Chain A
Amino acid sequence: MTYKKENMNRYFARMTIPVIAGVILTLLTIRPAEAHNPIFGVGPRVMWLNGWGLEAGLNWDKALRESRTGIAYSAEYGVTPNWTVSLNTDQIFHNTGGTEGLGDLLFRTKYRFYRNDVLGGIYQISAIGAVNFPSGKGSMSSHSTDFVGGMAADYEGRRWLLFGDTRYRLNTKGSNQISQGNVFIYDAALGFRPVETSYYQPDVVLMAELNGQVFGRQSVNGQHIAGSAGSRLFAAVGAWITYRNVAFKPGIQIPVYDHLKDNHPDFNFVFSVEVHF
């Protein structure tokens, strides 16, 4: 092996861990506002016509040897009764791995193309599209304009709720010459309302989720990074605590299966507040 090739291999090996960590933490951090949708997944529900939703969520996550604390911000607007657009970003104010500040900006659109209202329940399916703009800095940014497409569906009843979604993130080549592998994301969630409260009483829904990610291979300057592809599965529990137009959503997510090399994520904790008006 030549000297230059040995150096390149050492370079790629050193890049593997921070690149993987950066991608995972970026993907885990930005969680768009979801009006009564899963805490870690995406649901089909949309805002009402001309309705506004604002959300701020405290995130605390650990992956590898990095720990980050920050706030995820989201604003959504109901363009029509079946179409919602939102802007999402996050701000890290404590990061043992390095970069702090604002992350990427995610613009998302959700269109509900199927809705079946029944007495005390609803069946709905929505198409989801999003664009991630690399406005963040350092390890908080993907350094590329990325695209997300997918679908979400649910049944919501007075007692039981069932959610499912699938998304595909197309990562383009970044300004830092790193091409992050595309990601296939899938989620399932089950919700249970122990007490069927009336409209003017606090409402509690308990949530259990499974969140999966399948990462494609990453490359730097056209060279694939060994061990950068793989899959991970998380389990999460959380709750919605709502009163009229205010929602509190705590949740905690832990890995149950991890096939990514040299990656041992610990947990992801969120507590968000959402207000509609």
Chain B
Amino acid sequence: MNTLKKLLTLTSIVALTVVFTSVTAQRAQAQHKIKNPDVVAHIKGLACPFCAYGLEKKLKKLPGVAEVYVGLNEGIAQLKLNKKDDPPTQKQLKKAVEDAGFTLSKFIKYPEISQ
């Protein structure tokens, strides 16, 4: 009986946590997209936020990258570049995405700079 009570208590705690988090997620402010991004790329394989953290890390490490936005539902990554450094090349961007475990399928927007 004690075990059953403990099980019911634990299950209730988990269920409440899930419900609360789901409700919070719906009302939470979404990360704003970057206004006027310098680079926009279609990324394949973006299924979960937890996995996308690696993509954010790899892209932020690239030279010239000031800001990163990962759009899971749109399947895109947006970059804002800093004006001080040279922008990352398309090859560097593709490699960073590949190292993170995803596939960069195409560039929607990229600065008009020779690689």
A-side interface residues toward B, CB under 8 Å? 35-36, 45-51, 62, 81-82, 115, 117-122, 156-158, 161, 194-206, 238-245, 247-248, 250, 252, 266-267, 269, 276
Contacts and interface: CB of A to CB of B under 8 A. Distances in A.
Nearest to B103: A117
B47 interface: yes
B21 A48 contact: no
B50 A36 contact: yes
Given A35-B50, A195-B22, A203-B49, A48 B10 contact: no
A266 B42 CA distance: 48
Contact of A239 (B18, B25, B26, B57): B18
B1 interface: no
Contacts of B42: 119
B66 interface: no
Interface string B64-78: 000001111101000
Contacts of B72: 120, 158, 196-199
Contacts of A250: 14, 17
A117 B14 CA distance: 32
Interface residues of B, number: 43
Which 3 pairs across A and B sit closest by C-beta, in order of nearness? Answer: A117-B45, A48-B54, A200-B31
A49 B99 contact: yes
Contacts of A49: 58, 99-101
Contacts of B53: 244-245, 276
A120 B21 CA distance: 22
Contact of A266 (B3, B44, B50, B102): B3
A122 B47 contact: yes
A121 B54 contact: no
Contacts of A238: 14
A31 B104 CA distance: 33
B31 A198 contact: yes
Given A197-B72, A240-B50, 8 more contacts: A48-B57, A49-B100, A81-B98, A122-B44, A195-B22, A198-B31, A239-B18, A244-B49
Nearest to B51: A36
A37 to B, nearest CB: 10
21 contacts: A48-B54, A51-B54, A115-B101, A117-B45, A117-B102, A119-B44, A119-B75, A120-B47, A120-B73, A122-B44, A161-B47, A197-B49, A198-B72, A199-B56, A199-B70, A200-B31, A202-B25, A238-B14, A241-B18, A242-B49, A245-B50
Interface string B19-30: 001101110101
A196 to B, nearest CB: 6
A122 B45 contact: yes
Nearest to B33: A198
A252 B7 contact: yes
Nearest to B42: A119
Contacts of A267: 3, 7
A119 B70 CA distance: 14
Contacts of B14: 238-239, 250, 252
A202 B48 CA distance: 11
B49 A51 contact: no
Contacts of B44: 117-119, 122
B3 A62 contact: yes
Contact of B22 (A82, A194, A200): A194
